[in-house]
Amino acid sequence: MLSAMGIKEIAELAGVSKTTVSLALNGHKGVSSKTRTRITRIAKDMNYQLPANKSSQRSYHGVIVFTKLRKHGLILTEDQNSFILHYIDGINHAVKNYGYTFEISTQNVNSMESMESFASGINMKQPKGVIVLGTELDSADVLALDGLEVPYVIIDTYFGQLSANFVNMANVAAVHNIIEHFSITGHTDISMITCTKKTGNVNLREQGFRLGMEYFQLPLSDRSFIPVSPGFDGAYLDMLKFLDGNKQLPEALFCFNDVVAFGVIKALKEHNITVPDDISIIGFDDMPMSSMMEPHLTSFRVPNEQIGSIAARSIIEQIQYKEAYSPRGTLVSGNLIVRDSVKT
């Protein structure tokens, strides 16, 4: 069942309990000023009506829904909340500027039946449009979204063979930039830490890795792709197994996201392998922790807020132009943020 953003969703994004959210929003004691400010900001960004503002609601054109579809929850973990929040900020600011309200929901869709149930729930609610966080979806799941009777756009994944509305980061170009940086800093033996759970973005980053290695005339080998389980713990444990097997390490590793890079670096440290002196590492997403960990992680920054804003404008155009609107895939470039994890 689809529901508007409430205490539970705010708690997930803020990384606190529902009780803490309730205390903060109602002005009660027991919450630090820093936590209260963070919770209040998230609530305001999401158009959650604070107790003091309940009586001053405006009139809007209708509701646009942001839905996080969790297929297995292995990629969309709490570690990704800060990353997702930037998407939400971009969406919220855009829809408010066009006079719409904004709701957020999370739905588990672990089967085709649950995908159909999601579409039915949306069709019953009849919002003006839906922005789907499709990180964990495969191409069959995306096709199931054709059952939606309202305008929709999918973010954080892309399947070029499908005629649907996508807004995503330009994965292939991003990984090209990463391989280029490794190349110009003198690295020739490079591997990619990839994911055992394939997603649209993982597949595109693997494609970008192959193309980048070919473009810069760098060799591929039987250890060009080192698979690990998603998440910090999964990456840490699987990298430990790889290292315990006394397998030869390359000069450099590209990790398919920052959370995995954090786990890989922890495993390397436990084997007394130093970054960047012994091995260079680049991540992807530029999570806040990337600039705080030791060494500071070089990572590819995704313009999440811009992606969210473009997705919102796509919904508005679909509402305005209806049948005259043709499906399109929009890919947005980002920037490599160079820090201290690559040997120069």
Choose between 10 and 133: higher pLDDT: 133
Residues in a beta bridge with 132 = 67, 154
Identify the pLDDT of residue 49.
Answer: 64
User: Measured between alpha carbons, how far is 319 from 128 in angstroms, rounded to an integer?
Assistant: 7
Decide: 2 and 107 in contact? Cβ < 8 Å.
yes
Rounded distance, CA 88 to CA 86, Å? 5
Give the burial class of 249: count Cβ atoms within 10 A of its Cβ; 0-12 exposed, 13-18 middle, 19 or more buried.
Answer: middle
End-to-end Cα spacing for the chain: 52
DSSP string, 160-220: TTS-S-EEEE-HHHHHHHHHHHHHHTT---EEEEEESS--HHHHHHHHHHHHHHHHTT---
Predicted pLDDT at 291: 94
- For residues 285 and 65, is the Cβ–Cβ distance under 8 A? no
pLDDT tens digits, residue range 176-221? 999 999 999 999 999 999 999 999 999 999 999 999 999 999 999 9
Helix H or strand E segment including 4: none
What backbone torsions phi and psi does residue 192 show, to the nearest 5 degrees?
A: -110, 125
Say yes or no to pLDDT of 86 above 50: yes
Task: Name the residue with higher pLDDT: 36 or 151.
Answer: 151
Torsion, Cα of 319, 321, 324, 326 (10° steps)? -60
What does pLDDT average to over the chain? 91
pLDDT at 126: 93
Q: Which residue has the higher pLDDT, 19 or 52?
A: 19
Q: What is the largest CA-CA distance in the chain?
A: 65
Lowest mean pLDDT among 28-42, 61-75, 202-216, 326-340: 28-42
Number of residues that make up the chain: 344
Q: What is the mean pLDDT of residues 288-293?
A: 94
Reported as a pLDDT band with limits 50, 70 and 90, residue 40 is: confident
Q: Which domains, ranges and CATH numbers included, belong to the chain?
A: 7-169+304-332 (3.40.50.2300), 171-302 (3.40.50.2300)
Helix (H, G, I), strand (E, B) or coil at 32: coil
Tell me the CA distances in angstroms from 252 to 107, 256, 278, one per residue in order. Answer: 38, 13, 9
